[in-house]
Amino acid sequence: MSADPALDAALARYSRQMLFAPLGEQGQRHLRHARVLLVGCGALGTVLASTLVRAGVGFLRVVDRDFIELDNLQRQVLFDEHDIAANLPKAEAAARKLRRANSAVEVEAVVADAGPHNVAALAEGVDLLLDGTDNFETRFLLNDLAVRDGLPWVYGACIAAEGLVMAVLPGRTPCLRCIWDAPPPAGETPTCDTAGVLAAAVNITASLQALEAIKILSGRTDALHGRMISFDAWLGRFRALDMQPARETGDCRCCVHREFPYLAGDRASRAVLLCGRNAVQVTPPADAAPIELKRVAARLGRDARAVQNEFLLRFAADSFQVTLFADGRAIVKGTADAGVARSVVAKYVGA
Ligand SMILES: [Zn+2]
């Protein structure tokens, strides 16, 4: 109990968590002031967001580039069929649920693709970065930013029934590039597309990530175990790998030589294949003029069967489905070919 009854009342909802002695009321007070950036709000991201908001962080910024589809509901715990019917982007749908779960937490939704052009701004004023992504490109970007700015981040990856989790405390623990100098070549690693993914394994992965994050945010970095957890939940195999030697004996280009190539990335328009979607995201150049969804919608014919809300415009184009976001990005579904996707966007939205 403190001398401040209002504060006691605000903390009462966390009583079970504060009873856990290593966290305690002291840890809870730290959490209340913690500011977190979550990049990616799909399978891992929804569990991470739910856990941290319910645990009582002060602020969570949720960044996601995508909308919700029916086959997401198997594992993306913050979404439901109503969100799909309402055509809500993941970030917005998540934020609405999170605010209902804990109105004491400030939750900000950002519908955008985190990339070299915006990630530093997205991380402005936060204490920790959380990896809810499904691709190496963004993880190496987060690692660059974290090491450059001395921000802790928590890596997590899950496929099939397997997961990997590691907290990175720049200057103290190995970074991602101490372990892997570069992302694996495209197509060489299994994806949720090819190997599938079990929700139970996702939940374990994200829960282990959230645990390390809560240690850091509650001022208990001394409690970090400093290991990479690797598991196969189907086989019941769990390992805690000591990665410290990778930092001590390595010659990491990121945390030793301070090279940040992923942060320096180009700013041209990009087309990237989305993991497991038969879809391509087309991103306009950073200096492109803003897009007015209404004007694009007005140009479409009746055949386009366009639906629109304040966040996105969705329409049929030839044999494709195009979802255009207010930030100018388009997701073209029905192709895995970047060139085809670009030309569909150029034809219906404008180059
Ligand atoms: Zn390193």
Give 180's DSSP letter. -
Q: What is the pLDDT of residue 123?
A: 98
- Helix (H, G, I), strand (E, B), or coil: what is residue 76? coil
- What's the average model confidence in pLDDT over 77-90? 97
What pLDDT, on the 0 to 100 scale, is given for residue 1? 55
Report, in this order, helix, strand and coil percent for the chain, each rounded to 5: 35, 20, 40
Q: How many CB atoms lie within 10 A of CB 148?
A: 16
State the Cα–Cα distance between residues 29 and 257, nearest whole angstrom.
37
One-letter amino acid at 22 equals P
Q: Burial letters for 176-208: b for 16+ Cβ neighbours within 10 Å, e otherwise?
A: bbbbeeebeeeeeeebbbeeebbeebbbbbbbb
Distance 41 CA to ligand 1 centre (A): 26
Residue 306: in which H helix or E strand, if any?
A: none
- Which pair of tokens denotes residue 86? 């309402």
Over residues 324-335, the pLDDT tens digits come to: 998 889 999 999
> Would you tell me the crossing angle of helices 43-55 and 90-101 to the nearest 10 degrees?
30
* Tokens coding 31: 């959490």
pLDDT of 158 higher than 60: yes
Instruction: Give distance in angstroms: CA of 178 to centre of ligand 1.
Output: 4
Highest mean pLDDT among 92-101, 130-139, 297-306, 340-349: 92-101
Q: How far is the CA of 180 from the centre of ligand 1 (A)?
A: 9
pLDDT of residue 267 exceeding 50: no
Between the CA of 338 and the centroid of ligand 1 the distance, in Å, is 33
Contact at 8 Å (CB) between 57 and 219? no
- Among the residue ranges 199-213, 226-240, 296-310, the one predicted with the least confidence is 296-310
The pLDDT, as a whole number, for residue 74 is 97
CA angle, 133 then 135 then 136, to 5°: 115
**Mean of the pLDDT values across residues 136-149?**
95
Give the Å distance between the CA of 166 and the centre of ligand 1: 13
Q: What is the mean pLDDT of residues 266-277?
A: 71
Sign of the CA dihedral running 121, 127, 131, 137: positive
Question: Using 50, 70 and 90 to split pLDDT, how confident is the model at 307?
Answer: very high
32-46, 115-129, 252-266, range with the lowest pLDDT = 252-266
Residue 91 C-alpha to ligand 1 middle, in angstroms? 30
Separation of 157 CA from ligand 1 center, angstroms? 18
What pLDDT is stored for residue 186 in this prediction? Answer: 58
Helix (H, G, I), strand (E, B) or coil at 171: coil
Q: Where are the domains of the chain?
A: 33-249, 270-348
Indicate the range of 18-32, 49-63, 280-294 predicted with least confidence: 280-294
Same fold? 33-249, 270-348: no
Helices marked H in 218-289 = 244-249
Q: What is the pLDDT of residue 241?
A: 96
Distance 327 CA to ligand 1 centre (A): 33
Ligand 1 geometric centre to CA of 252 (Å)? 5
pLDDT above 70 covers a percentage of the chain that reads 95
Say how many Å lie between the CA of residue 160 and the centre of ligand 1.
Answer: 28
Q: How far is the CA of 141 from the centre of ligand 1 (A)?
A: 13
- Per the CB < 8 A criterion, the answer to whether 199 and 254 are in contact is no
Distance 158 CA to ligand 1 centre (A): 22
User: Distance, CA 117 to ligand 1 centroid (Å)?
Assistant: 22
Give residue 154 CA to ligand 1 midpoint distance, Å.
Answer: 14
Q: Residue 126 above 60 pLDDT?
A: yes
Surrounding residues of ion ligand 1, Cβ less than 5 A: 175, 177-178, 252, 254-255
CA–CA dist 40, 114 (Å, integer):
8
- Predicted pLDDT of residue 40: 97
Pick the CATH number of 33-249 from 3.30.70.360, 3.40.50.720, 3.40.50.300, 3.40.190.290: 3.40.50.720
pLDDT at residue number 291:
84
CATH class of the domain whose range is 270-348: alpha beta
Ligand 1 centre from 105 Cα, in Å? Answer: 33
Query: How does DSSP assign 91-128, residue by residue?
Result: HHHHHHHHHHH-TTSEEEEEES---TTTHHHHTTT-SE
**H-helix or E-strand containing 106?**
strand 106-111
- β-strand 330-333 against 320-325: which pairing, if any? antiparallel
Is pTM beyond 0.85? Reply is yes
Higher pLDDT, 148 or 282: 148
User: pLDDT-derived band of residue 88, with 50, 70 and 90 as boundaries?
Assistant: very high
Phi, psi of 237 (to 5 degrees): -110, 120
Distance CA 109, CA 311 (A): 11
Highest mean pLDDT among 2-11, 249-258, 341-350: 249-258
Task: Give the pLDDT mean for 205-220.
Answer: 98
